[in-house]
């Protein structure tokens, strides 16, 4: 039996709220006789979390849709695509130019030469202003048809037209070079975050040098790929400060060329996110906090809200970065102030939140409660994390959560309970092949602390354990992503 197509379902799910509202108005205008049927099917699919055609037909069994379901479904798909075309037609300059050029063609066919010339000149100015050379090749046949209609066949005009075409081809060829070199870098990044293969690194360094030798492209659109490629290359090499410099230039370019920012809004938001991540890694906390505020405002702007799930994705990234940067500065009290709003947003988005963010938010909240000496709240949050159905997806974070659980009980003085917890946790880590030097020092140190006869001996045991842990910091540096052992004290964070 042929599997039911999910194309319509996938398309509707990717529509923004404003695109859906536009479609509803569009369907009412363009479907006089069957608008209720198409909208009924649209609404029914919109409410589904996963596409199940049997279930969908059951929902619609009391309508006439089921009798001609395949036809209605196909027609609705075409209507949704057409509405999206109309919705974005006047928002993207490239699409508007294609429409205007089509109008030029119609006017020429109707011998309305004066009107056609006016539209052609308008298109030509926009193309020159925004350096849309591919569009200029589409406009040139219309210019030549206008030239023939007006009887302009002298040698000077013909040579000028030929030179114009050749120049556009040359410009496109140069743009093609920048595209190729930029995509070589971007393609590697999509496969690997860091460069570890020496041969591959040398190859990319050669590509970067070719880009630098060619210089900054004249066209703003091409500059986007150029700057993005350079930022990506340096980030992969671990040269985050240089990557941040190119990402900043990229943002400045977008903000200067507002038409580009709107037509390539997805790339603009992605560049903004990369710049925030750069600042987080570099410890530029003020720039990060300012950027977070700006990105949240942008995500609510109607122009950017057409990006699928933009508010959700901005929420995930900005709160993750903001919590981490405050923790990094040991500002647990400041991080604590973000938790009420964070919890509200987690309730709002629920299962839509990506699994990695669900888990990391759970851990970060537990860590913040620990850092503000709310040990029981920290344990409560860790209990929720432990029961998460997705906990196996981020094993490293889960082991950090196991350590934080023991650290909380240590701060509370639950020494008797710790005896069994230490053994159970250690056994669990061994079974999952997570025997690390840090783990050995940590578990042995805790056992020594809880068996000490008095507070003085416990402090001495803690100091020795901490000294041993700090001695292997470079070897176990990833563990510091989850807990700042440098600031750890027996009864909390320093």
CB–CB of 223/217 below 8 Å? Answer: yes
Q: Which 3-state string (H, E, C) describes 149-213?
A: HCCCCCHHHHHHHHHHHHHHHHHHHHHHHHHHHHHHHHHHHHHCCCCCCHHHHHHHHHHHHHHHH
229, part of any domain: no
Contact 365, 342 (CB under 8 A): yes
Residues 111 and 136 in one domain: yes
Please report whether residue 277 resides in a domain.
Answer: yes
Residues 342 and 460 in one domain: no
Do residue 150 and residue 274 come from a single domain? no
Does one domain contain both 391 and 448?
Answer: yes
Position 204 in a domain: no
Burial class (CB in 10 A: 0-12, 13-18, 19+), 347: exposed
Other C-beta atoms lying within 10 Å of the C-beta of residue 212: 11
Supply the DSSP string of 67-136, one letter for each residue. GGHHHHHHHHHHHHHHHHHHHHHTT-HHHHHHHHHHHHHHHHHTT-HHHHHHHHHHHHHHHHHHT-HHHH
Per the structure, the count of domains in the chain is 4
Quick one: which H or E segment has residue 488? strand 488-489
- Among 63, 89, 115, the domain-final residue is 89
| 10-residue averages of pLDDT along the chain (494 residues) | 82 87 83 68 90 89 87 91 84 84 92 92 90 90 89 82 90 92 89 75 92 92 94 93 96 89 88 95 94 92 82 94 94 96 93 89 96 96 78 76 95 93 89 80 94 93 95 92 93 77
Boundary residue ending a domain (346, 371, 398): 346
Nearest to 102 by CA among 146, 144, 139: 139
Q: Could you tell me how many helices (H) and strands (E) the chain has, helices first?
A: 24, 2
pTM of the predicted structure, to 2 decimals: 0.75
Query: Does residue 195 lie within any of the structural domains?
Result: no
Any bridge partners for residue 492, and if so which? Answer: 489
Whether residues 342 and 381 share a domain: the answer is no
400 and 481 in a single domain? The answer is yes
Q: Which of 171, 165, 167, 110 is nearest to 143 (CA)?
A: 165
Closest CA to 168 of 215, 204, 210, 128: 128
* Same-domain status, 370 and 317: no
Task: Dump the DSSP string for 281-347.
Answer: HHT-HHHHHHHHHHHHHHHTSTTGGGSTTHHHHHHHHHHHHHHHHHHHTT-HHHHHTTHHHHHHHHH
Same domain, 27 and 148: no
Residue 227 within any structural domain of the chain? no
Phi and psi based region of residue 111 (left: phi greater than 0; alpha: psi -120 to 50; beta: remaining): left
Shared-domain flag, residues 378 and 327: no
Return the half-sphere exposure (C-beta side, CA atoms, 13 A cut-off) of residue 89.
Answer: 11
Structure tokens at 83: 């509405």
Identify the sign of the CA torsion 288, 294, 295, 296: positive
Domain assignment present for 218 = no
On whether both 321 and 359 belong to a single domain, the answer is no
Least Cα distance to 5 among 55, 74, 105 occurs for 74
The verdict on 358 and 470 lying in the same domain is yes
Domain residues for the domain of 114 are: 107-169
Q: Give the separation between CA 291 and CA 4, rounded to whole angstroms.
A: 44
Residue with tokens 């009107």: 115
Answer yes or no: are the C-beta atoms of 278 and 243 closer than 8 Å: yes
Tell me if 72 is assigned to some domain. yes
Question: Is residue 65 assigned to a domain?
Answer: yes
Tokens standing for residue 74? 């196909």
Q: How many CB atoms lie within 10 A of CB 295?
A: 20
Do 160 and 277 reside in the same domain of the chain? no
Instruction: Please say which residue of 346, 368, 401 terminates a domain.
Output: 346
- Which residues, other chains included, contact 455 with Cβ-Cβ below 8 Å and sequence gap of 6+? none
- Helix H or strand E segment including 261: helix 258-263
CA dist 398 → 185, 379, 403, 408 (Å): 34, 14, 9, 15
């Amino acid at each position: 039996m042929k599997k039911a197509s999910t194309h319509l379902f996938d398309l509707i799910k990717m529509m923004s709220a404003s695109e859906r509202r536009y479609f509803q108005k569009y369907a009412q205008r363009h479907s006089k006789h069957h608008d209720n049927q198409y909208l009924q099917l649209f609404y029914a699919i919109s409410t589904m979390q996963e596409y199940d055609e049997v279930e969908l037909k059951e929902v619609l069994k009391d309508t006439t849709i089921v009798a001609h379901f395949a036809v209605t479904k196909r027609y609705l798909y075409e209507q949704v695509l057409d509405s999206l075309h109309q919705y974005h037609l006047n928002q993207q300059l490239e699409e508007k130019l294609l429409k205007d050029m089509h109008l030029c063609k119609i006017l020429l066919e109707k011998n309305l030469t004066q009107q056609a010339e006016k539209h052609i000149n308008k298109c030509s100015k926009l193309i020159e202003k925004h350096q849309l050379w591919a569009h200029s090749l589409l406009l040139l046949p219309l210019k030549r048809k206008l030239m023939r209609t007006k009887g302009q066949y002298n040698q000077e005009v013909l040579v000028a037209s030929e030179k114009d075409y050749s120049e556009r081809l040359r410009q496109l060829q140069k743009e093609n070079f920048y595209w190729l070199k930029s995509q070589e870098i971007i393609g590697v990044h999509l496969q690997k975050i860091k460069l570890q293969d020496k041969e591959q690194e040398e190859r990319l360094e050669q590509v970067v040098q070719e880009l630098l030798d060619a210089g900054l492209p004249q066209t703003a659109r091409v500059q986007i790929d150029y700057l993005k490629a350079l930022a990506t290359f340096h980030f992969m090499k671990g040269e985050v400060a240089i990557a941040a410099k190119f990402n900043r230039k990229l943002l400045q370019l977008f903000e200067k060329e507002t038409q580009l920012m709107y037509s390539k809004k997805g790339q603009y938001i992605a560049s903004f996110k990369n710049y925030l991540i750069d600042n987080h890694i570099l410890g530029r906390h003020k720039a990060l906090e300012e950027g977070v505020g700006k990105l949240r405002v942008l995500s609510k702007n109607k122009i950017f809200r057409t990006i699928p799930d933009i508010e959700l994705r901005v929420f995930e990234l900005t709160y993750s970065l903001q919590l981490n940067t405050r923790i990094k500065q040991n500002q647990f009290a400041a991080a604590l102030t973000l938790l009420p709003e964070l919890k509200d947003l987690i309730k709002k988005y629920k299962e839509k939140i990506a699994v990695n963010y669900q888990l990391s938010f759970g851990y970060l909240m537990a860590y913040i409660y620990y850092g503000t000496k709310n040990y029981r709240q920290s344990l409560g949050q860790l209990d929720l994390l432990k029961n998460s159905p997705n906990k196996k997806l981020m094993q490293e974070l889960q082991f950090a959560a196991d350590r934080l659980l023991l650290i909380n009980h240590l701060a509370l003085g639950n020494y008797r309970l710790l005896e069994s917890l230490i053994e159970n946790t250690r056994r669990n880590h061994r079974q999952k092949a997570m025997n690390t030097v840090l783990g050995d020092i940590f578990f042995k140190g805790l056992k020594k602390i809880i068996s000490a006869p008095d507070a003085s001996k416990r402090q001495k045991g803690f100091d020795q354990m901490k000294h041993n842990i700090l001695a292997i910091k470079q070897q176990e540096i990833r563990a510091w992503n989850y807990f700042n052992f440098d600031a750890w004290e027996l009864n909390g964070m320093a």
